[in-house]
Amino acid sequence: MTVRGMPLAAFNDADLALAVRVLAEACAAPRWARRVAALRPFASVDELCEQAVAELAATDDADIRAGLAGHPRIGDRVTGGRSATEQSRVAAAGDAVLSRLVEANRAYEERFGHVYLVFAHGRGAEELLAVLEERLGNDPDSEWRVARRELCRITEFRLAAMFDAES
């Protein structure tokens, strides 16, 4: 299922299972999706985004790990879906930069135990590689907080894009 421009009223009226599936398109954290779906109805897309981010910021580490696992590596050849759109400028990079991204992703995952997550929309491969290399210098606790914030940022962006702002 791909939702774009869905009226908020339709989301508010959807059965719980459908609402959870819709939310999972924005973030693959299952407990988070169930909690946000249970908060319906939302008066506006802004309220949905605000509540969703607050719930995500408060969710447990296991659910965050599930959310992170729903994202491909920066620089992977992604076809279709939100990640492909968000990483479209990365896909245009040359082989040398993409190769460096592969190596840096591998080092990141070895160091931190999860995928490197960064808000990629509108950003090129070189910029995202520089951010990755900088974040490799973080200690694990600091990096976990950064990854959680990035997941919130991506989720909010995706939710805002999914729902018709006029609803």
Residue 70: predicted pLDDT: 87
pLDDT (0 to 100) of residue 85: 52
84 domain residue, yes or no: yes
**pLDDT recorded at residue 32:** 98
Q: Is residue 92 part of a domain?
A: yes
**In terms of DSSP H, where are the helices of 77-138?**
81-86, 88-91, 95-112, 125-135
Q: Give residue 160's pLDDT.
A: 92
Please report whether residue 28 resides in a domain: yes
- Is residue 157 one of the residues assigned to a domain? yes
Domain extent for 28: 8-162
In a domain, 23, yes or no: yes
| Rounded Cα distance, 53 and 12, in Å | 17
Domain assignment present for 167? no
Note the pTM of the prediction, 2 decimals: 0.87
Q: Report angle CA 23, 105, 121 to the nearest 5 degrees.
A: 45
Is 36 domain-assigned? yes
pLDDT, residue 111, reads 98
pLDDT digits (tens, 9 = 90+) for 112-154: 999 999 998 888 889 999 999 999 999 999 999 999 999 999 9
> Which residues in the chain come in under a pLDDT of 50?
1, 79-80, 83-84, 166-167
Name the domain count of the chain: 1
Q: What is the CATH number of the domain that holds 128?
A: 1.10.3330.10
Cis peptide before 41 (omega within 30 of 0): yes
